[in-house]
């Protein structure tokens, strides 16, 4: 789907001002996610980008309502096709998972059951979520799904260890598509795969997006993948939104210093250099956040105000938001 069509496509998933805390060892709550908003339209691929610990996984688990026992959503809303997911009972929410919003987990070897065949595991997802229950129809659906992701259906009776890494990830994608969801959350689906296999998996996801009209929330720390796959990008830092805009805007006119540093650290073949750039320091610990802007201790252009006052998320131009004191909104 072309980008200008995506702008007019209906909104499937709308996350508004979502905040999530974790309670750790009886200490004060850690604010893992603060006031994050985005929309995902039909056919759109939204990249969720940032370093480890920036809140990507918390955001994803909050949307799916799969937080661990010590996590709780403290404010905000999640709507899927207008339905308020945070007000649903657990049984109703379980029906939304897989049927409407499914997940492709990272690390296919860990996510798959090693003692059950791939066909059984995909079949179980189909039956558990009542997509079809008749065994002949389940078999047919398993074969369809394997075909969709480029695995010969004869291999359904094999176990995960008999698959290559790329095939296991394809099987995970088939499982996520078991109940024909409209939205797929892909959690770093190409991490730990070699470059050639990564390219094949990205190509498969693009093909599935076009063929099935899927909307994809693509969690990654790889800006190359974002440039290749995504229409829009949400850059996160320390649990908050650093920048949110179309991919073209973020790559050509980044406003947040963190986004600019991420792009500078991204290898560029047209800018050959002896040394790869990096961002000095580490992302903040959520239980020991710095005062003011969370990026201030690492920011190359921080001013005094940054160390005492947290910047608000401002609209830079239509469709482009950034949270930085130096950005005019
Ligand atoms: Fe850097 Fe200040 Fe902007 Fe934060 S608010 S990103 S510290 S300039």
Residues counted in the chain: 329
Residue nearest to atom 3 of ligand 1 (CA): 324
Per-residue pLDDT of the chain (329 residues; tens, 9 = 90+): 445 467 889 999 999 999 999 998 888 899 999 999 999 999 999 999 998 888 999 999 999 999 999 999 999 999 999 999 999 999 999 989 989 999 998 776 678 899 999 999 999 989 988 778 788 999 999 999 999 999 999 999 999 999 998 899 999 999 999 999 999 999 888 877 788 888 888 999 999 999 998 999 999 888 888 988 899 999 999 999 999 999 999 999 999 999 999 998 877 666 666 667 778 888 888 878 899 999 999 999 999 999 999 999 999 999 999 999 999 76
Separation CA 60–CA 217 (nearest Å): 9
Q: Which of 319, 254, 194, 316 is nearest to 49 (CA)?
A: 254
Q: Find out whether 170 and 128 touch, Cβ atoms under 8 Å.
A: no
Residue nearest to atom 5 of ligand 1 (CA): 324
- Which residues contact ligand 1 via a Cβ below 6 A? 256-257, 293, 295-296, 299, 301-302, 306, 311, 324-326
DSSP 298-312: G-TT--GGGGTSPPP
Looking at residue 282, the DSSP 8-state letter turns out to be -
The ranges assigned to domains in the chain are: 3-100+181-322, 107-180
Sheet holding 101-104, edge to edge: 101-104, 183-187, 215-220, 45-49, 232-237, 240-246, 320-322, 314-317
Residue 95 buriedness (CB in 10 A; 0-12 / 13-18 / 19+): middle
119 CA to middle of ligand 1, Å? 50
Q: What is the pLDDT of residues 10-61, one digit of tens each?
A: 999 999 999 999 998 888 899 999 999 999 999 999 999 998 888 999 999 9
Atom of ligand 1 nearest to the CA of 293: 4
How many CA atoms within 13 Å lie on the side-chain side of 88? Answer: 19
At residue 175, the pLDDT reads: 92
Q: Find out whether 236 and 314 touch, Cβ atoms under 8 Å.
A: no
Q: 3-100+181-322: what CATH class?
A: alpha beta
Atom of ligand 1 nearest to the CA of 256: 6
296 CA to middle of ligand 1, Å? 6
| CA angle (276, 279, 280) in 5-degree steps | 110
Looking at residue 124, the DSSP 8-state letter turns out to be H
257 CA to middle of ligand 1, Å? 7
219 CA to middle of ligand 1, Å? 24
300 CA to middle of ligand 1, Å? 8
14 CA to middle of ligand 1, Å? 27
Q: Which of 197, 80, 212 is nearest to 145 (CA)?
A: 212
Q: Find out whether 172 and 104 touch, Cβ atoms under 8 Å.
A: yes
Atom of ligand 1 nearest to the CA of 294: 4
At residue 69, the pLDDT reads: 94
């Amino acid at each position: 789907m072309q980008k200008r069509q995506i702008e007019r496509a209906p909104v499937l998933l709308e996350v508004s001002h979502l905040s999530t805390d974790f309670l750790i060892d009886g200490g004060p709550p850690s604010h893992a996610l603060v006031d994050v908003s985005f929309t995902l339209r039909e056919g759109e691929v939204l990249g969720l980008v940032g370093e480890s610990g920036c809140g990507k996984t918390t955001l994803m688990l909050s949307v799916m309502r799969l937080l661990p026992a010590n996590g709780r959503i403290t404010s905000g809303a999640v709507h899927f096709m207008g339905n308020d997911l945070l007000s649903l009972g657990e049984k109703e929410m379980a029906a939304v998972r897989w049927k409407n919003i499914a997940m492709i987990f990272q690390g296919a070897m860990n996510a798959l059951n090693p003692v059950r065949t791939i066909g059984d595991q995909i079949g179980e997802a189909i039956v558990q979520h009542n997509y079809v229950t008749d065994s002949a129809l389940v078999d047919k659906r398993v074969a369809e799904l394997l075909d969709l992701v480029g695995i010969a259906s004869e291999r359904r009776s094999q176990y995960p260890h008999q698959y290559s890494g790329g095939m296991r990830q394809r099987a995970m994608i088939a499982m996520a598509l078991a109940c024909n969801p409209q939205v797929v959350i892909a959690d770093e689906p190409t991490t730990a795969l070699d470059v050639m296999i990564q390219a094949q998996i990205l190509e498969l996801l693009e093909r599935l997006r076009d063929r099935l009209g899927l909307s994809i929330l693509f969690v990654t720390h790889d800006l190359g993948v974002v440039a290749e796959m995504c229409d829009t990008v949400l850059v996160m830092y320390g649990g908050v939104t650093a920048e949110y805009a179309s991919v073209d805007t973020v790559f050509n006119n980044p406003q947040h210093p963190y986004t600019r540093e991420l792009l500078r650290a991204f290898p560029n073949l047209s800018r050959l250099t002896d040394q790869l750039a990096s961002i000095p320091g580490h992302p903040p610990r959520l239980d020991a956040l710095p005062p003011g802007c969370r990026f201030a201790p690492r920011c190359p252009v921080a001013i005094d105000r940054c160390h005492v006052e947290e910047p608000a998320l401002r609209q830079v131009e239509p469709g482009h938001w950034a949270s930085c004191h130096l950005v005019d909104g």
